[in-house]
């Protein structure tokens, strides 16, 4: 996995990532992703989905346990999306501490997830959460908080983040650290200025087909740039994508996504 994407548009959520395949005989450490397992988990019944990054470092045996924590078929009372996010975070954090207890924090792989979906609280409500493994444990946090009568739309991404941060946000996030350390300018002062250079994209006017096109574009552009910069010439990738709407969660077939 090179890029993990969560997008929210008026009609629902999109989860997207890449699977990379190297030439025969190439070690998987030579190219940027792990091709053997899905990193997106869906629950059609609960109208939600999760996209994980870094979990493969805990071993492939962990994926059935992750899927079980997303679906919870045995429970009569359905847990909220927040409760599912919290349980999944605690599970991954526990496994991560067991697996990487001997490593310094900066040597541990990045592990985290996006979790998004719909639940009914009188009305159908969209929720999305993000979590990344830290020490000490930090609980999941909302990706965005809707204001009354003003839903928040947009795209978030993790992984090889720099190309899309420069393109969409309009700046290298490392600049925040440089300005703070070299010129003693607090990032709270810098961010409102930097937001003026963000690429003008109308997420609130975007339909699901356009969201799929944008997710595919983000992944292809990131991988193409990394291909030129670093990675071997003989490798291929494909996009793995799912959408979540109030009607349910489903996989997107490759031909449904432009450019994939």
Task: Check if the beta carbon of residue 134 is closer than 8 Å to that of residue 97.
Answer: no
Q: What is the pTM of this model?
A: 0.86
pLDDT at 1: 79
pLDDT, tens digit, for every residue of 182-211?
888 888 888 888 888 899 999 999 999 999
- Topology at the third CATH level for domain 3-159+206-256: 3.60.20
Q: What stretches of the chain show up as alpha helix (H) in DSSP?
A: 62-71, 81-100, 162-164, 174-183, 187-194, 208-229
Question: How far apart are alpha carbons 114 and 53 in whole angstroms?
Answer: 9
Comparing C-alpha atoms, which of 242, 219, 243, 228 is closest to residue 167?
219
Task: Check if the beta carbon of residue 78 is closer than 8 Å to that of residue 29.
Answer: no
Question: How far apart are alpha carbons 13 and 126 in whole angstroms?
Answer: 9
The 10 Å Cβ neighbour count of residue 191 is 11
DSSP state of 8: E
> Which pair of tokens denotes residue 32?
């940027």
Sites in the chain below the pLDDT cut of 70: 21-37, 72-76, 105-106, 121-123, 148, 231-235, 254-260
Q: Where are the domains of the chain?
A: 3-159+206-256
pLDDT at 49: 94
DSSP labels, 20-46: EEPPTT--GGGSSS-TTS--EEEETTT
pLDDT, tens digit, for every residue of 213-222?
999 999 999 9
Task: Check if the beta carbon of residue 70 is closer than 8 Å to that of residue 50.
Answer: yes
Q: Give Cα 46 distance to the centre of its chain.
A: 19
What number of H helices and E strands is found in the chain?
Answer: 6, 10
How would you label 231-260 residue by residue, b for 16+ Cβ within 10 Å and e otherwise? beeebebebbbbbbbeebbeebeeeebeeb
Question: How far apart are alpha carbons 22 and 227 in whole angstroms?
Answer: 12
The burial of 109, by beta-carbon neighbours within 10 Å (0-12 exposed, 13-18 middle, 19 or more buried), is given as middle
3-state helix, strand, coil in the chain (%, to 5): 35, 25, 35
């Amino acid at each position: 996995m090179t890029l993990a994407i969560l997008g929210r548009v008026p009609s629902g959520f999109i989860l997207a990532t890449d699977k990379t395949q190297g030439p025969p005989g190439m070690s998987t450490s030579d190219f940027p992703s792990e091709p053997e397992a899905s990193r997106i988990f869906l629950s059609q019944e609960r109208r939600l989905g999760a996209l994980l990054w870094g979990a493969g470092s805990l071993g492939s045996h962990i994926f059935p346990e992750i899927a079980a924590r997303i679906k919870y078929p045995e429970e009569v009372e359905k847990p909220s999306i927040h409760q599912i996010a919290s349980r999944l975070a605690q599970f991954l954090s526990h496994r991560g501490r067991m697996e990487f207890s001997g490593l310094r924090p900066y040597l541990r792989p990045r592990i985290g997830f996006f979790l998004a979906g719909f639940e009914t609280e009188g009305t159908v409500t969209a929720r999305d959460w993000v979590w990344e493994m830290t020490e000490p444990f930090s609980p999941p946090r909302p990706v965005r908080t809707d204001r009354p009568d003003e839903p928040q739309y947009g795209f978030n991404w993790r992984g090889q983040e720099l190309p899309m941060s420069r393109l969409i946000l309009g700046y290298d996030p490392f600049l925040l650290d440089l300005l703070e350390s070299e010129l003693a300018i607090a990032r709270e002062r810098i961010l409102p200025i930097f937001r003026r250079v963000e690429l003008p994209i109308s997420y609130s006017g975007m339909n699901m087909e356009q969201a799929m096109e944008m997710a595919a574009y983000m992944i292809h552009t990131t991988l193409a740039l990394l291909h030129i910069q670093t990675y071997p010439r003989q490798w291929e990738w494909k996009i793995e994508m799912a959408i979540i709407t109030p009607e349910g969660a489903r996989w997107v077939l490759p031909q449904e996504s432009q450019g994939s």
